[in-house]
């Protein structure tokens, strides 16, 4: 008589599945948050790039569960909801994701200030790329003010969202 090894419990399998879906679902939720009319609350004309926060965080922490096709989908959803040039933010997010994943070892295990500084650089790259590509698309140099405001707000709010993402990740790892 042979015994089969005991497989993972249903709760463990559900936790693993949740961890695999979490970055993508967080990215989608962040994109949707970008379209909540926060301007009425904070008296700002532009919303922070919440999707970029999720992409950066997961590209550094767990790129194995947030692949490039998920990043593309998050960017494409942003493009569709914003009624801007289709593919613009999908491309920008993919470029930033690729850069961050290639440099992620610089941030793993380091102080949060270094992680945040990396996000600042990533945000500047995303803002410059988005502004440049949109200017090309519309065949005119767009005013940089709204992009700079959006990027400043994004960097300022990142610690709050990074803390939330970390909490979510720890909760799922503890369960799975």
Cα 3 to chain centroid distance, Å, stands at 45
End-to-end CA gap in the chain: 31
Write out pLDDT tens, residues 145-176.
999 999 999 999 999 999 999 999 888 766 65
Secondary element (H or E) of residue 1: none
In degrees and rounded to multiples of 5, residue 14 shows phi and psi of -65, -40
Which of the two residues, 28 and 171, has the higher pLDDT score? 28
**What residue spans define the domains of the chain?**
10-31+44-175
DSSP string, 4-38: PPP---HHHHHHHHHHHHHHHHHHHHHHHHTTS-T
How distant, in Å, are the alpha carbons of 89, 99, 123, 155 from that of 95?
Answer: 10, 6, 12, 18
Q: Which fold has domain 10-31+44-175?
A: Arp2/3 complex 21 kDa subunit ARPC3 (1.10.1760)
**Distance in angstroms (rounded) separating the CA atoms of residues 50 and 54:** 7
- Does the pTM exceed 0.85? yes
């Amino acid at each position: 008589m042979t015994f089969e090894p005991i497989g993972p419990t249903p709760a463990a399998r559900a936790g693993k599945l949740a961890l695999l879906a979490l970055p993508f679902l967080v990215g989608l939720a962040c994109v949707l948050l970008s379209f909540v009319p926060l301007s009425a609350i904070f008296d700002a004309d532009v919303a922070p790039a919440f999707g970029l926060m999720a992409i950066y965080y997961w590209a550094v922490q767990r790129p194995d569960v947030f692949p490039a096709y998920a990043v593309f989908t998050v960017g494409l959803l942003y493009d569709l909801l914003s009624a801007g040039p289709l593919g613009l933010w999908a491309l920008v997010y993919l470029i930033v994701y690729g850069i961050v994943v290639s440099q992620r070892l610089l941030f793993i295990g380091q102080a949060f200030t270094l992680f945040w500084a990396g996000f600042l650089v990533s945000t500047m790259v995303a803002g410059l790329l988005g502004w440049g590509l949109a200017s090309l698309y519309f065949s005119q140099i767009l005013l940089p003010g709204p992009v700079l405001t959006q990027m400043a707000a994004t960097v300022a709010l990142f610690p709050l969202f990074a803390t939330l993402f970390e909490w979510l990740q720890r909760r799922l790892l503890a369960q799975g």
